[in-house]
Amino acid sequence: MKAKREGGGNPGAAVVLLSGGMDSAVAGAWARAEGYAILALTVDYGQRHRVELEAARRVAAALGCRDHVVVQVDLRRFGGSALTADIPVPTGRNPHEMTDIPVTYVPARNTVFLALALGWAETLGAEDLFIGVNFLDYSGYPDCRPEYIEAFERMANLATKAGVEGKSRFRIHTPLIRVTKAEIVRRAAELGVDLSLTWSCYVPGPDGRPCGACDSCILRAKGFAEAGIPDPLAR
């Protein structure tokens, strides 16, 4: 299903936020399956698990992206998160207990990411943005919820020259927002995404392997288990 598109200087292209994790890899493959040429954007924000940046490069190459840009914004300058400051990452939590917003929440992270994606999209004349947020089996981050995404999209069309002049209508695509991690694993298989290229762990060990105990590892393991598919990264 090739999405129809009008106006803009880069018809058929979409900016895809690619973290190196499973969800954004599947969101990228989804965009590709819909017929978009992919302009991948990765943000090096000083994250503790910098190894995910290498995963993002592998995923971008596998997706056959038209371009892949890695932008640096050092959010450690602000801190406030276990991913950007000297705060321990929680381990061993039960997924059913992940109802609070954890200390791995990075203040305004998706807003910074989407703002950068919007700027690049407008420059390129693209009007479709993909972000792999999901709302089920997630870590409780507020900037993964549908009402947030809708508010960002509305703001984006008021923020931009292209939006105001009516040349473009920016759309934030969230193909995974209402699916479980198990469904994401299954869709990866359907879409031909090699999940061995992806990275999820927040605190990789000295051996360079996933810790298996942080929320991100636990949610990943839950997804593979429920999908009945072995994780190629599992110990």
Measured from the CB atom, is 108 or 225 closer to its own copies? Answer: 108
For residues 52 to 71, the per-residue mask of contacts with its own copies, x marking binding by CB under 8 A and - elsewhere, is: -----------------x-x
Q: Does 78 help bind its own copies (rule: CB under 8 A)? A: yes
Residues 135 and 98: beta-carbon distance below 8 Å: no
Measured from the CB atom, is 72 or 94 closer to its own copies? Answer: 72
Q: Which of residues 103-122 bind its own copies (CB under 8 A)?
A: 105-112, 114-116, 118-120, 122
**DSSP structure class, residue 91:** B
Q: Does 156 help bind its own copies (rule: CB under 8 A)? A: yes
CB 83 to its own copies: min, Å: 12
Instruction: State the helix-helix crossing angle for 181-191 and 215-227, rounded to 10 degrees.
Output: 60
CB 1 to its own copies: min, Å: 28
Q: Does 232 help bind its own copies (rule: CB under 8 A)? A: no
Q: 32-69: buried (b, 16+ CB within 10 Å) or exposed (e) per residue? A: bebebbbbbbbbebbbbbeebbebbbbbbebbebbebb
CA distance 228 to 235: 16
The residues of the shown chain that bind its own copies, judged by CB under 8 A, are: 69, 71-75, 77-81, 101, 105-112, 114-116, 118-120, 122-124, 142-143, 145, 147-148, 151-152, 154-156, 158-161, 163-165
